[in-house]
Structure 1
Amino acid sequence: MTIRVFIQTGVFQGGPAVFRSRLIKSFKKIDDIKVVKNVNEKFDIELAFIRQVYEHDKPYILRADGCYYEENRKNLNKNIKEAMKKARYIIFQSESSFKLCDHVLGIEEKMKERGIGHSIIHNGIDLEYIKKIKPAKDVAPGSFITCAGWRPNKRPNSTIEGFIRADTGRYLYIIGEEGFSKGQKISKNYWEQRSKYIKVLGKRKNKEIISIMKTCSYQLHLCHIDSCPNAVIEGLSCGLNVLYTNLGGTYELVKENGVVLNVDKPWKTKYMKSTNLDNISPDIVAEGIHKLLKMKERSKRKDLDIDEVAKEYANVIKKVWNV
C-alpha cells in the first residue's frame, strides 16, 4: 500500500528547505511513499518541517529544527512547543538537537506522557550528484572554504581573523551574503585588502559551492550551535577535513574528519543570556587550523547518502501510519 505524505514546500527557507528538497527527490525512489505538495489533495499523513502550517485531521510527523536558546529570543519558541505537543512523532537532526530542546523546552517528559516517539536522523546529500560535479579550475588546490548564512552566531570575524593569524600561505574562500549580519557591514574590499589569501565570493549556487569544495582540502565551520549543518555534510561528502566548535550536532557528523575547538561552555540556566558569540581568540583558531593541516586526507563519507536517510524517514512514516 502506498502512503501519501503531505510535505509543505515554499515555507521556511535556508537549511530546512535545502534538506527538504533533497529528501523529496529521494522519496521518489521509494515505491510505497508518494509525496503530496498540495494540502487540498488527498493524503494520509504529513511530514512537517519546523511546524505545521495548515490545520487538518491527519496525523503528522514533525521534523524539528531545534529551538531558540537565547534569553532575548525565547518568545519565538511558542510555535515550536505547540508543534511538538501536537505531533504524533518527532524526528531530530542530531542527539545534540534533542538534548538542547529538552534542556530549553523540557520536552522529553512531556513526550513520554503523551506517547510521542522520536528518532535521531542526520541530514544527507545525493552522493551521485556530488560525484558528477567537476572540481573548480579557478580555485587553488589545497585551499580552505567556509560558507554560511552569515550571522554573529556563525562567527565570521572569528573565522577570518583566525585564518589570517594562522598565516598558512593558502587561500580561504568565503561563501555567503557579503554583509555578514544585521548592522555589520563587512565588505569584500575590506577583507581582501587585509590579506591576499582571502577571497570573498558572496552568495553562490549549490553546484558551484560543491565544485569549489572539491578543489579545497579544508573547511572552517565555527558556528556556536548547529543541529546538523548542510554545509558540513557537503564538505564531508567532498572529502574535506573540518575545523569546528564543541557545541551542537556538528561533532556527530565530523567524527574523525576534523579538529574540534573546545571554546564554548554549556549554560546551566534554561536560556543563555545574550552575549557576543563572534569572539573566539584568533590564536585559538590559528592553532586549530595548524592542527587541521597536519591531518591526513580522509575518504569521502558514504554514510551521508540521502537515499539511506530517506529510507530511515520512510521507516518512521510507515511505523507511525501503522499504529
Structure 2
Amino acid sequence: MIIKNIIFIKLKDLLRKILILIENLKVNLNFLFIINRKTKLAKIYYGGSIKSNIGGPAVKIKKLKKFFPEYKWNFNIVYLLSNSIYLNASTINLLKEKNVPIILNQNGVFYPEWFTGDWEKENKKMSIIYHASNYIFWQSKFSQKASEKYLGKRLGSGEILYNSVDTNTFKPSGEIYTNKFTFLITGNINKRSNYRITTIIQSLEGLIKEYKNIHLNIAGCVEDKKYFLRKIKELQLDSYITFIDEFSQKEAPLIYQRANAYITIAYNDNCPSAVIEALSSGLPVLYSNSGGIPELVNKDSGIGLQVKEDWSKTQIPNVSDIQKGMIKIMENKENMSKAARIRAIENFDIKYWIKRHEEVIDELLN
C-alpha cells in the first residue's frame, strides 16, 4: 500500500511537470506565430487551469468559462488562480513584455500552520505572479493580509472579491426530509485535518444523551474514513453519523438541502465556497472564528467559535463551545436560516461576481 502511494505521488508530480512544460510552451508559441491580437473582445487564457465539477479551483474555472470562454491561442488577457499556477517566471516576464494583462485570483499562501514542506520556497514562486499581475482579486481581507505578510506589500491594483454562488441553484428545498436535526461537514479532509471531524464527533457524543434527534452528515473525500468508521462504531454512534462519498457540484445542492446547519472548524480558511453555498441553502453556520469566514457569516446567520491567531499551529475550538453553538443553532434554526439565505443573496450572488470581472477585464483591455 505504501509503495502504491509513493508511485501515485511520483506519477502525479511527473504529470504536473509535463502540464507546466506544455502550458509554458503554448504561451511562447502564441507569440511566435500569432501576430494580430489587437481586439477589444476579451479572449481569456486560464494558464492551464482545468474545469471540473469537483475541487475548488476547477469549479471556479468552470464558473468563469461559462461567462468568459477560453482562448488557448490568440488570447489577449490571462486569468490565473493562485492555487493552480502552471506558468513559470520566464513566461510571466514574456507576457509582461508583450503587454498582455494578467488577472490573479488570490486565495491562500504557504505558512507552517498548514504546509509541512518548504513554505518559503513556495511563497517565493507565488510572489512572482503576485507582484507581476495587473490586477488582483483577493478572496477575502484575510487573504490580502496573509499575502502581504508572506508575499510582500503589493503596489499594483486590486480589490476584495469574495467567492460567489448561484443563489437560484443553491437554495432551501422547502421540504422536511427527516425529523432529525442534521449538521453537515463537507470537504476533502486529509489526515492532517482530522481534527475537523474528530472534534465534532466528541461534541456530538456529549450532546446525544439530551438531544436524541441530532445527526451528522460528513460529505466529501475523507482520507482517514476507515479510522473514523471504527471510532464511530466503538463509540456506538453509528446511527448518528452518515458518510457521503465525494460529490460533484451538480450533486451539491441536494446535500445541503438535506441538512439543517453547517459546521466548519477548518482553521484560517481564506474564503471557502462551501460556506457561501451553505448560507445560500439556508443553513446557519457554526465556524472557527479565524481566516476569512468571519467576513462571510454575520451574527444573525451563524456562530463563530473563538480561537487565537496563529501562523504556526492549528487552533481548535473548545468542545464545550462547539456544543453550546450547536444547541443555540438548533434553538434558533428558523430565524438563522432566513438570515443565512438573505446574507448569501445580498452579498455573494454570482451576478455581482461576474459583473466585477466584466468591468475589470474591460478596463484592462480598453
- Aligning the two structures, in what range does the TM-score lie when normalised by the shorter sequence? 0.7 to 0.9
CA deviation string 1:86-132 (max 9, x = no partner): 1111111011110111122222xxx22xxx1111001112222235x
1:70 matched to which residue of 2? 112
Q: CA deviation at 1:291?
A: 2.1
2:320 is the alignment partner of 1:283: yes
Q: CA deviation at 1:164?
A: 2.5
Aligned counterpart for 1:35 among listed residues 54, 69, 80:
69
Q: Quick one: structure 1 residues 20 and 139, their matched pair in 2 at CA, closer, same or farther if it must change by over 3 Å?
A: farther
Q: Quick one: structure 1 residues 53 and 11, their matched pair in 2 at CA, closer, same or farther if it must change by over 3 Å?
A: farther
Q: Quick one: structure 1 residues 102 and 234, their matched pair in 2 at CA, closer, same or farther if it must change by over 3 Å?
A: same
1:314 matched to which residue of 2? 358
Q: CA deviation at 1:47?
A: 1.0
2:215 matched to which residue of 1? 171
Question: Secondary structure in 2 aligned to 1:129?
Answer: coil
**TM-score (structure 2 length as normaliser):** 0.73
Q: CA deviation at 1:82?
A: 1.2
CA distance in 2, matches of 1:209, 1:165: 29
Q: CA deviation at 1:140?
A: 5.2
Is the CA contact 2:51–2:60 (under 8 Å) kept in the aligned structure 1? no
Alignment of 1:198-277 (within 5 A): 198-255=241-298, 256-263=300-307, 265-267=308-310, 272-273=311-312, 275=313, 277=314
Is the CA contact 1:136–1:212 (under 8 Å) kept in the aligned structure 2? no
Is the CA contact 1:192–1:199 (under 8 Å) kept in the aligned structure 2? no
CA deviation string 1:67-99 (max 9, x = no partner): 012174423212211110211111110111101
Is the CA contact 1:19–1:230 (under 8 Å) kept in the aligned structure 2? no
1:159 matched to which residue of 2? 200
Amino acid at match of 1:10: I
Q: Quick one: structure 1 residues 136 and 205, their matched pair in 2 at CA, closer, same or farther if it must change by over 3 Å?
A: farther
CA distance in 2, matches of 1:134, 1:206: 17
CA deviation string 1:11-58 (max 9, x = no partner): 897312222212322x2xxxxxx42242xx111111111165342432
Amino acid at match of 1:61: I
CA distance in 2, matches of 1:175, 1:199: 8
When Rg is computed on C-alpha atoms for both structures, the one with the higher figure is 2
CA distance in 1, matches of 2:61, 2:136: 15
Alignment of 1:139-158 (within 5 A): 142-151=181-190, 152-153=192-193, 155-158=196-199
CA distance in 1, matches of 2:85, 2:139: 17
Question: Secondary structure in 1 aligned to 2:109?
Answer: coil
Is the CA contact 1:178–1:187 (under 8 Å) kept in the aligned structure 2? no
Identity %: 25
Q: CA deviation at 1:321?
A: 2.3
2:102 matched to which residue of 1? 60
Is the CA contact 2:137–2:160 (under 8 Å) kept in the aligned structure 1? yes
The 10-residue stretch of structure 1 (158-167 or 118-127) with the greater mean CA deviation from structure 2? 158-167
Structure 2 unaligned blocks of 5 or more:
1-39
Q: Quick one: structure 1 residues 125 and 283, their matched pair in 2 at CA, closer, same or farther if it must change by over 3 Å?
A: same
In terms of fraction of residues, the more helix-rich structure is: 2
Question: Secondary structure in 2 aligned to 1:251?
Answer: helix
Q: CA deviation at 1:297?
A: 3.6
Structure 1 unaligned blocks of 5 or more:
28-33
Q: Quick one: structure 1 residues 158 and 187, their matched pair in 2 at CA, closer, same or farther if it must change by over 3 Å?
A: closer
